[in-house]
C-alpha cells in the first residue's frame, strides 16, 4: 500500500503549515489564481494547511527544490528523477503527459521542416515533454534551429502568438489552459510521445502518516471540488510510488 512505500527517514513533527511548490508553467499570479482554489479544497479535505509558495521562474523553482525548501512539490518527471533523493512521489494526475510544438495560426510554418534555422521558445532546457522531446524530434530529422529558454510554458506560447518566435514547446495540459484570445492565434504543429504526468511529491522527512492523509485527500478532490480540479486540466488523481518513475520506460516510453 501507499503508506508502506513512503519510507520516511529521520522523521520529525510536521509543521502546522506545509509549503507547496508548483512548477511555474505560467506567471506567479496566474499560477496562484489557477491553483489556490484546489489547494484550499485539499487543505479542507486533509485537515492540513497548505500554503502556496510561488516561484517567478522554473529555474528559481528548481533551485528551491534542490535545496529541499518546499514540503510538497508538483514538478515535471525529469526534475523528479533529479531530486528524488529529497522527495518521494505519492500522487499524480490521471492520463499521460504529452509534449507539443505550437506555431502561429495561418503563419508560414506548416511543417517541421519549415522551422529550419528558426528561433524556437522552450520553457527550460531539461523539461522532458516540453523541451527535450521536441528538440530530439527536430534533431532526428536533421532540422537546425536556435533554442531560447523563456522560463515557462505560458511565456513560450505567448511569445509565439506575438510573433517573437517561430514555434514554442509546451504540453497539452498547459496549452488547454490558455485564454482563448491567445490559443486562437496558435495551432499545434507537432505532438510528442505520451509519458507519466507530473507527480506530487513530499519531502522525505515528513511523517508517513501525514503523507498518507494528503494522498487520500488528493484522490477525493474530483468529488469534493470538481470545478477547482477541472480548472487545472485534471480529470482525476491516482496513487503513485517512487518506483513508477524510476522503472525503465516509465517516464518516456
Q: What are the pLDDT digits (tens) for 156-191?
A: 999 999 999 999 999 998 999 999 999 999 999 999
**Does a structural domain hold residue 253?**
no
The alpha carbon torsion through 217, 222, 227, 232 (nearest 10 deg) reads 80
Nearest to 77 by CA among 195, 191, 211: 195
Q: Are residues 31 and 85 in the same domain?
A: yes
- Condensed to tens digits (0 to 9), the pLDDT of residues 112-121 reads 999 999 999 9
Q: What is the mean pLDDT of the chain?
A: 89
Q: Are residues 9 and 60 in the same domain?
A: yes
Predicted confidence at residue 79, as pLDDT, reads 87
Rounded CA separation 147/119 (Å): 6
Nearest to 103 by CA among 33, 162, 31: 162
Mean pLDDT of 99-108: 96
pLDDT at 13 over 60: no
- Condensed to tens digits (0 to 9), the pLDDT of residues 228-247 reads 999 998 999 999 988 888 75
Q: Are residues 202 and 173 in the same domain?
A: no
Q: Are residues 91 and 105 in the same domain?
A: no
- pTM, rounded to two decimals: 0.79
Q: Is residue 103 within 8 Å of residue 189, measured between CB atoms?
A: yes
Beta strands in 95-185 (DSSP E): 97-104, 118-122, 145-149, 167-171
Predicted confidence at residue 117, as pLDDT, reads 97
Q: Are residues 42 and 161 in the same domain?
A: no
Range of the domain at 51: 2-96+196-245
Q: Is residue 8 within 8 Å of residue 210, measured between CB atoms?
A: no
- Condensed to tens digits (0 to 9), the pLDDT of residues 123-155 reads 988 888 999 999 999 999 999 999 999 988 999
Number of structural domains (the chain) is 2
Predicted confidence at residue 247, as pLDDT, reads 53
Question: Which residues are CB-neighbours of 235 under 8 A, at least 6 positions away?
Answer: 93, 94, 95, 222
Q: Are residues 216 and 130 in the same domain?
A: no
Predicted confidence at residue 126, as pLDDT, reads 82
Q: Are residues 18 and 82 in the same domain?
A: yes
Q: pLDDT over 90 for what percent of the chain?
A: 72
Amino acid at each position: 500500500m501507499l503508506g508502506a512505500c513512503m519510507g520516511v527517514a529521520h522523521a520529525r513533527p510536521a509543521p502546522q503549515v506545509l509549503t507547496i511548490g508548483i512548477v511555474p508553467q505560467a506567471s506567479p499570479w496566474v499560477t496562484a489564481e489557477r491553483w489556490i482554489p484546489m489547494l484550499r479544497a485539499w487543505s479542507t479535505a486533509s485537515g492540513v494547511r497548505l500554503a502556496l509558495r510561488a516561484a517567478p521562474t522554473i529555474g528559481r523553482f528548481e533551485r528551491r527544490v534542490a535545496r529541499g525548501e518546499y514540503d510538497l512539490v508538483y514538478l515535471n518527471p525529469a526534475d523528479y528523477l533529479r531530486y528524488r533523493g529529497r522527495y518521494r512521489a505519492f500522487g499524480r494526475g490521471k492520463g499521460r503527459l504529452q509534449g507539443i510544438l505550437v506555431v502561429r495560426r495561418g503563419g508560414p510554418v506548416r511543417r517541421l521542416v519549415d522551422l529550419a534555422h528558426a528561433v524556437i521558445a522552450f520553457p527550460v532546457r531539461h523539461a522532458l515533454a516540453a523541451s527535450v522531446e521536441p528538440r530530439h524530434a527536430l534533431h532526428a530529422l536533421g532540422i537546425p534551429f536556435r533554442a531560447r529558454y523563456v522560463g515557462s510554458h505560458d511565456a513560450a506560447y505567448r511569445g509565439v502568438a506575438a510573433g517573437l518566435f517561430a514555434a514554442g514547446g509546451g504540453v497539452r495540459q498547459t496549452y488547454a489552459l490558455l485564454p482563448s484570445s491567445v490559443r486562437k492565434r496558435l495551432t499545434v504543429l507537432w505532438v510528442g510521445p505520451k509519458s507519466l504526468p507530473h507527480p506530487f511529491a513530499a519531502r522525505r522527512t515528513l511523517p508517513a502518516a501525514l503523507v498518507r492523509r494528503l494522498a487520500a485527500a488528493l484522490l477525493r478532490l474530483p468529488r469534493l471540488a470538481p470545478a477547482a480540479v477541472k480548472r487545472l486540466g485534471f480529470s482525476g488523481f491516482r496513487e503513485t510510488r517512487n518506483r513508477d518513475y524510476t522503472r525503465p520506460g516509465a517516464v518516456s516510453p
